[in-house]
Amino acid sequence: MADERIVEGQTESPAWMLPAVIVLGLIAVGGLAVGWSASSKLDGTQQTVAAQLKTTQQAVQQDMSSLKDRLAQDEKTNADLQGDLKVVTDKLKITQGQLKKARQEAVKLNDATTEKVTALDTSVHSELATKATSDDVKVVDTKVVGVKTDLDATREDLKMARSEMGTLIARNHDEIDQLRRLGERDYVEFTIVGRNKPEKVGNVTVELKGVNEKRNQFSAAVTIEDRRFDKRNRAMNEPIFFYLSGTHIPEEIVVNKVGKNTISGYLSIPKANSTTAAAASKSGN
């Protein structure tokens, strides 16, 4: 009997094992719950990162598209600027050639005047040597005075300011008359009173837009062969050059006086342009 009790006492489980198993089970369940929560958070984080990555990719694509558009626009602008630069360069070459020609003509004018004076002086001395009467001397004196007057006028012409095209710029009515006597151009004087009142001046139309008396500046619109050009803040005695169809020598508008809502000046037309225009009119008829 004593042996049987001992055997039965050895087969019984300890009292703490069941609670331990329960605790381990709870820990396992808690671990599973924590793992499931972490897995859910990880999935949410992955979805958020994927959405942000997609948004970033779309933004980058939009930026790339915008950059390509700007690059194409810049290339177009660069091409336009290169074209404008070529046009300006070609016109500058023409202007430099015309300026050189004008200077050469001025030198020729001086040389021609000097030759005339020299020839007249020789003629005077010859006449004085062969004719000694007082009447002959008076006639010769009159010729000398006339030539000196013409020479003085020519010298005054050469003192006038010259434009970039080499033309003389008249600052008043008397200087315009001096330019007329040279016979190279026709001059149409004008005075425009009031703004926004187009007036016909020779073969163009001039419309006063504004005047700055303190700075001696004006703004005007010039219509040439149905083409309108706005000239803003132009200085007094600053020529405005333009070409008519079929001509190679520019015409010019010069404003040599500004006042309150009024400007005065002249239109300078080369004789060659008048001849060309007349020929074109005949051929058109």
pLDDT tens-place string over residues 229-244: 999 999 999 999 999 9
Report d(CA 158, CA 160) in Å as an integer.
Answer: 5
Report d(CA 234, CA 216) in Å as an integer.
Answer: 9
pLDDT bucket at 8, cuts 50 / 70 / 90: very low
Given this model, what pLDDT does residue 276 score? 55
Show the tokens assigned to 165.
């095209």
Mean pLDDT score of the chain, rounded to an integer? 76
Evaluate whether 217 touches 233 at the Cβ level (below 8 Å): yes
DSSP structure class, residue 187 = E
Evaluate whether 169 touches 239 at the Cβ level (below 8 Å): yes
pLDDT bucket at 2, cuts 50 / 70 / 90: very low
Whether the per-residue pLDDT at 226 is higher than 80: the answer is yes
Q: Percentage of the chain with pLDDT > 90?
A: 28
pLDDT bucket at 187, cuts 50 / 70 / 90: very high
List Cβ<8 Å contacts ≥24 apart for 89-97.
Answer: 95/164, 95/165
Dihedral sign computed on CA atoms, order 163, 229, 253, 281:
positive
Q: What is the mean pLDDT of residues 30-38?
A: 75
Report d(CA 252, CA 270) in Å as an integer.
Answer: 9
Q: What is the mean pLDDT of residues 143-161?
A: 55
112 phi and psi angles, rounded to 5 deg: -65, -40
Among 94-98, 119-123, 183-187, the range with the most confident prediction by mean pLDDT is 183-187
Q: What is the mean pLDDT of residues 150-160?
A: 55
pLDDT bucket at 190, cuts 50 / 70 / 90: very high
Whether the per-residue pLDDT at 134 is higher than 60: the answer is no
- Rounded to a whole number of angstroms, the CA Rg of the chain reads 49
Q: Which of 98, 106, 130 is nearest to 243 (CA)?
A: 98
Q: What is the mean pLDDT of residues 171-193?
A: 92
DSSP E strands: which ranges in the chain?
A: 185-193, 199-201, 204-212, 217-224, 227-235, 240-242, 251-259, 262-270
Whether the per-residue pLDDT at 114 is higher than 90: the answer is no
Given this model, what pLDDT does residue 262 score? 94
Q: Which residue has the higher pLDDT, 32 or 215?
A: 215
Q: Lowest-confidence range among 39-48, 60-69, 140-149, 201-210?
A: 140-149
179 phi and psi angles, rounded to 5 deg: -65, -35
What pairs with residue 192 in β-bridges? 263
Given this model, what pLDDT does residue 200 score? 94
Q: What is the mean pLDDT of residues 179-196?
A: 92
Given this model, what pLDDT does residue 223 score? 93
Q: Quick one: 239 exposed, middle or buried, by C-beta within 10 A (0-12, 13-18, 19+)?
A: buried
Dihedral sign computed on CA atoms, order 223, 229, 230, 236:
negative
Show the tokens assigned to 72.
């194409």
Whether the per-residue pLDDT at 7 is higher than 50: the answer is no
Report d(CA 222, CA 201) in Å as an integer.
Answer: 10
Q: Lowest-confidence range among 66-70, 155-159, 268-272?
A: 155-159
Report d(CA 86, CA 16) in Å as an integer.
Answer: 102
Q: What is the mean pLDDT of residues 12-35?
A: 74
3-state helix, strand, coil split of the chain in percent (to 5) is 60, 20, 20
DSSP structure class, residue 194 = S
Which residues are CB-contacts of 184 (< 8 A; sequence separation ≥ 6)?
Answer: 270, 271
